[in-house]
A and B are shown apart, each in its own frame.
Chain A
Amino acid sequence: MKFSKTHEWIELNDGVGTVGVSTHAQNELGDIVYVELPKIGKSVKAGEEAAVLESTKAAADVYSPVSGTIVEVNQALTDQSDLINSSPESQGWIFKIKISDTKEWDALLDFTTYQAQLK
């Protein structure tokens, strides 16, 4: 699992990355009440907004850590947006993206580096 500076995590499997937000991010946002999921088939560039998380008091953009095409979204979040709070790095995954440039994966932060820059 790797992280972006903007608090997204990504796990790579056979050229497809599963993306979500970090424990730190969901903690900052509070109870997630709604998730605006991306459209399947949408192509995004690294750092581009792919999804939006809403709490009662804030809205936060989820940026794609890598460039590629959205191949799957976590439909469970439609009725259970709180999965992001209870299980942000597992069941609360947001979308899956077929990555187009593996060099971008290398540029992402590992867990220790991500934790360090939180301070």
Chain B
Amino acid sequence: MDFISNKETQNKEMLQAIGVKTVEELFFAVPKELRLASPKADDGLSEYEGIKLMEALAAKNTFPQFDHYLGAGAYDHHVPAIVGAVCSKSEFLTSYTPYQPETSQGMLQIIFEFQSAICALTGMDISNASLYDGSSACAEAMLMALRCHKERNKVVIAESLHPHYRTVVEQYLISHQTQIEVIPFLKDGRLDMDRMKQLVDDKTAAVLIPYPNFFGVIEDVKKVSEYAKKVEALTVVCANPLVYGLYESAAEIGADIAVGDGQPFGLPLQYGGPYVGYIACKQELVRQLPGRIVGETVDTENRRGFVLTLQAREQHIRREKATSNICTNQALAALACLTAMLWYGKEGVKKLALTNYQRAAYLKKRLQVIPGVKIQESAVYFNEFVVEFSQPIDQVLAYFRKHHIEPGVDLSRYFHEMDHHLLVAVTETKSKKQLDHYVLIAGELG
């Protein structure tokens, strides 16, 4: 099938109006030797067959049958029903970039509200309209810091940043030949502060600290930002935005730029995307902020309206001197994120964050007492933590899976020495019954 309206009758009339006999004539500029022959047989599907095909493919995925505890940058939270309803509205779903603001006030206001909500959560002054995801947000923040410090070409990154995020940062910086120094983590997953002090110097444009880090640990970011300020290096915090519902905001811990992925609010796992990157900063850095920004203004009748603003930073105007090449971002995903943040609201976000913390802490507490299971006690967590088993990890995974539990991310795939370790995420979706069941199975591993 196709979605083409015009049929032979209309096409004949149009060809006549143009003054050609066949459509082929319109492709005159294409060299004959390059032109493909028309496919003979119709290898398409009807809508019904298409749906059946997709149902069969979805059924091949057995993962949804598992009670899973996977996190590592993609978290299983409840997606409020209103999110789908709002995002599927024609006026949002099928519109495009608001180049004609008079007909796009809806989306522009949504982006303005998204920017406001991100600022509310992070405590920063300005946010942009979204970036692709958390990893590119980190990369863009590094580039932004380098633009703010044109004479410096070094950044310092925590080794406990999400490994995928780190490789994307390297991807964006490699052409600039930026020196990238890595602060190692200690045995309990926390940042090696002594090493941090050695690495962050007056040649450093920015230091990037995750919050929580890849192991779920909450770092003492204030210590880092205070130190960074002495050498005028920018502090960039990469956070799961839900953490700001419980712990100190990016502003409170001294961040200059706050980035991360808004996925925990309103975006299902959907195999890794679309998610939504965010970047927010202090007022004085606004002109270096990449991506789209929406601002408030008035029309000729003095009515309030919204427009894309500060566009001279962007690729369609500044071209090779743009702050970024980003054009299409994650607008609809930002809408999903905003809707969920609003559904929870001022009090709900706090309660959501707290219950995430408590359920994870409960599981941690109960696992800790199982012989053969080790969990670091010195660090502070949010809703994710590392569990060390005494059995070989393959055995652990196999046993849990037999009981339809996917117990966590095998950390040996990222850190060779962590070969008995799983990264376990717990959200508000886990009932006491589920958590107790996890504990039971872990206890049987012996």
A and B co-occur in one complex: yes
Q: Which residues of A contact B (CB under 8 A)?
A: 33-34, 36, 54-59
Measured between beta carbons, the chain A residues less than 8 angstroms from B317 are 57-59
Whole-angstrom distance between the alpha carbons of A57 and B317 in the complex? 7
Q: Which residues of B contact A59 (CB under 8 A)?
A: 312, 317-318, 321
Query: 8 closest pairs, A vs B, by CB?
Result: A54-B312, A59-B312, A59-B318, A59-B317, A58-B317, A56-B311, A57-B317, A58-B312
**B interface list, Cβ under 8 A from A:** 287, 309, 311-312, 317-318, 321
Residues of B within 8 A of A34 (CB): 287, 312
CB nearest to A36 among chain B residues: B287
Tell me the number of A-to-B contacts counted with CB atoms below 8 Å: 17
Taken together as a complex, chains A and B put the C-alpha atoms of A55 and B313 apart, in Å, by 11
Q: Which residues of A contact B312 (CB under 8 A)?
A: 33-34, 54-56, 58-59
Shortest B313–chain A CB gap in Å is 8
Interface-central residue, B287, B309, B312, B321, by most chain A CB under 10 Å: B312
Secondary structure call for the B interface: helix
Q: Could you pull out 14 A-B pairs where Cβ atoms are within 8 angstroms?
A: A33-B312, A34-B287, A34-B312, A54-B312, A55-B312, A56-B309, A56-B311, A57-B311, A57-B317, A58-B312, A58-B317, A59-B312, A59-B318, A59-B321
Which residues of A sit under 8 angstroms from B318, Cβ to Cβ? 59
Q: Please name the residue on chain B nearest to A55 by beta carbon.
A: B312
- Please, which residues of chain A bring their CB within 8 A of the CB of B321? 59
Closest CB in chain B relative to A60 CB, distance in Å? 9
**Additional pairs, 5, CB under 8 Å, beyond known A56-B311, A59-B317:** A33-B312, A36-B287, A54-B312, A55-B312, A59-B321
A54 surroundings in chain B (CB, below 8 A): 312
CA distance A54 to B322 in the complex (A): 12
Q: Which of A33, A54, A58 has the most CB of B within 10 A?
A: A54
Chain B residue at minimum C-beta to C-beta distance from A61: B321
What are the residues of chain B within 8 A of A55 when measuring CB–CB?
312
In the complex, A104 Cα to B287 Cα: how many Å?
A: 34
Query: Once the chains are docked, how many angstroms separate the CA of A56 from the CA of B312?
Result: 7
Give Cα A76–Cα B309 distance, bound, in whole angstroms. 22
Cα–Cα distance between A57 and B321 once the two chains are bound (Å): 15
Q: State the Cβ distance, B317 to closest chain A Cβ, in Å.
A: 6
Give the one of B311, B318, B321 with max A CB within 10 A. B311
- Residues from chain B with a CB closer than 8 A to the CB of A57 are 311, 317
Residue of A nearest to B314 (CB): A59
Which residue of chain B has the shortest Cβ distance to A56 in the bound complex? B311
Distance, CA A33 to CA B312, complexed state (A) = 10
Q: How far is the CA of A95 from the CA of B249 in the complex (A)?
A: 40
Q: Once bound together, how far apart are the Cα atoms of A55 and B312, in whole Å?
A: 7
Question: Across the two chains, which residue of chain A brings its CB closest to B311?
Answer: A56
Q: From residue A75, how far is it (CB to closest CB) to chain B in Å?
A: 16
Q: Compute how far the CA of A33 lies from the CA of B311 in the bound complex, rounded to whole angstroms.
A: 11
User: Whole-angstrom distance between the alpha carbons of A59 and B317 in the complex?
Assistant: 7
Q: How far is the CA of A89 from the CA of B312 in the complex (A)?
A: 24
- A36 partner residues in chain B, CB cutoff 8 A: 287
Chain B residues whose CB sits within 8 angstroms of the CB of A56 once the complex forms: 309, 311-312
Q: How far, in whole Å, are A83 and B321 apart by their CA atoms in the complex?
A: 25
Distance between Cα atoms of A54 and B309 in the complex (Å): 12
- A59 to chain B: closest residue by CB: B312
Write out the residue numbers on chain A whose beta carbons fall within 8 Å of the beta carbon of B311: 56-57
